[in-house]
Structure 1
């Protein structure tokens, strides 16, 4: 690996105890010892890309997904076991033939069968989509070593222990934003988006019902079973209210090669939830099977600047429909003319 301080290429023996053997300075992450195979330079490079060169702040969960994405595409299930079984099985087979010991063939056949079984399981997807570092373990396994060396989080990463501001002011809100993910809420609040659009931010259906606003409801959710259930449950709990689905569409996400989902076996939906989704319509049998296996694409997996742009645009359109002054300005073209000049560089505020 390359030392993040002196940029010398270090062999394993030249970096004992996560310390460069040339400049003597400590570094946080060694690709040989951490599950994500990270080094400090890669973390900085990814953080810079996510923050759009430092123009926006991100939450640790967004960094977790970006650093895990490459490993989520494949699987390491039984990789060492499969290779060892084939290697030892082949070696024992050769010995059996030369030594003329037929009983050794039984052992070699067993080893080869083990290797074939693991290979078949890998081909069927065993272990695929399982994060090497679970989301909830990322602060301990990656960010804690980083803090101990650099006394701060990677550049542009917001400290969850130090909120960017208090809860958004709900007085005079024109709409409600429902988002079950506290990390995404923290990200949006840090950018000032709820305050900018007069959104009351809540996390659940019950909180949406109690929110001090009779305006439209925006549902921002992960692409998973819980997310697909959120919109119909909101419409059921808020009859007569406009409920807009602002989450990434399931079929669109599944068709995107760049969208890398992951699985959480602990959060598989209940059969009753899948039956409810089937009754609602709009989901193919393949979609329901995908959801039932616990697959999900999280909001923190979206490029942060794009997530801000989408929510900003939806909230702005909702504001035009509920605020007479904004609606009148939109009719005059005041809020629409920048679109002809090009995309608004969200995150440059």
Structure 2
């Protein structure tokens, strides 16, 4: 690997204890000792791309996905086991030939069967899409070591721990729209880049937080939804639309069908977080998904919010909020002309509900 400080190419024996033997400086990540095969230079390079050269800020969740994409696409099942099985079979055959131990041929046959079984399983996709390092492990292992060495997160990365959803003061101006976003990484990203304040948007974590804000919203002020594209995300969107009849409920992200058709969109899955039979039954009853899509969702696959390119996500939300603002401004102007009705809140830009586009 390349030393991130002196840029010398280091052999494994030249970097014991994550210390370069040439410049004597410590680095954080060694590709031989972490499951994502990370090194400091790669983390810096990916971070620079995510932050659009430092124009925006991103979060650890977004960085985790960007660093995991290649491994998620390739997949990994029983690494090294197939080669070990074939090597073992060759050794056993040689031993059987030298020692004239015919029964060992059965052992070699078993090892060959295991090796071919692993290869077939890999070809069929076993292990594909399962993160080799979870988001939690990335934070507690890779980022914790980075902080120990450099004293802070990588440049442009803001902390997403704690409660990133802003608490609205009692005397705050009425919002133009509500944005539901359950992922703390994306909530922290939006707050760090100033989107809620810039457009008068109330950012909330869960659907049950929305009703308390409805009285303050303009009649056409929308509820925007940012969600993972997975089984539970599909149900969340429909739950909100059923609970808020007459209110524009806007799905901000692309559809499942669109994302599955994009070659660069990389999903992942967590086998222990598969949707329940009851949840899949509700999705099937909607009649909106193909049999293949339902099978995909049932296996726990998802396109996560943290996988959306940060600069593009921010641009889409900015553009949507500006459209909503123009629509509400037109309504306010009409109300002022009529003279018998005023809109709640101070005059100013406020969101064209995407539901009316």
Q: What TM-score comes out, normalization by structure 2 length? A: 0.87
Partner Cα distance (1:92, 1:70) in 2: 36
Partner Cα distance (1:265, 1:221) in 2: 19
- Which consecutive residues of structure 2, in runs of 5 or more, have no partner in the other structure? 335-348, 350-357
Distance 1:78 1:147, change over 3 A: same
1:311 aligns with one of 300, 311, 317: 317
Distance 1:176 1:162, change over 3 A: closer
Partner Cα distance (2:78, 2:59) in 1: 33
User: 1:25 — aligned with what?
Assistant: 25
Partner Cα distance (2:101, 2:161) in 1: 66
Matched, 1:234 2:236: no
Partner SS state of residue 278, structure 1: helix
On the 8 A contact 1:278/1:288 being kept in 2, the answer is yes
1:204 aligns with one of 203, 206, 221: 206
User: 1:342 — aligned with what?
Assistant: none
User: 1:193 — aligned with what?
Assistant: 195
- TM-align CA RMSD: 2.0
Partner Cα distance (1:165, 1:254) in 2: 30
Partner Cα distance (1:6, 1:326) in 2: 61
Residue 98 (structure 1) shift: 5.0
Structure 1 stretch displaced more, 207-216 or 79-88: 207-216
Residue 165 (structure 1) shift: 9.4
2:227 aligns with one of 221, 231, 245: 221
Matched, 1:119 2:109: no
User: 2:144 — aligned with what?
Assistant: 144
On the 8 A contact 2:159/2:188 being kept in 1, the answer is no
Partner SS state of residue 211, structure 1: helix
User: 2:91 — aligned with what?
Assistant: 91
On the 8 A contact 1:14/1:20 being kept in 2, the answer is yes
Matched, 1:286 2:288: no
Q: How many residues align?
A: 329
Structure 1 stretch displaced more, 81-90 or 43-52: 81-90
User: 2:2 — aligned with what?
Assistant: 2
Distance 1:326 1:87, change over 3 A: farther
On the 8 A contact 1:320/1:326 being kept in 2, the answer is no
Residue 283 (structure 1) shift: 1.0
Distance 1:117 1:164, change over 3 A: closer
What are the superposed Cα offsets for residues 269-311 of structure 1, whole Å, 9 maximum, x if unpaired?
Answer: 1112112112223211111111110001111111110010111
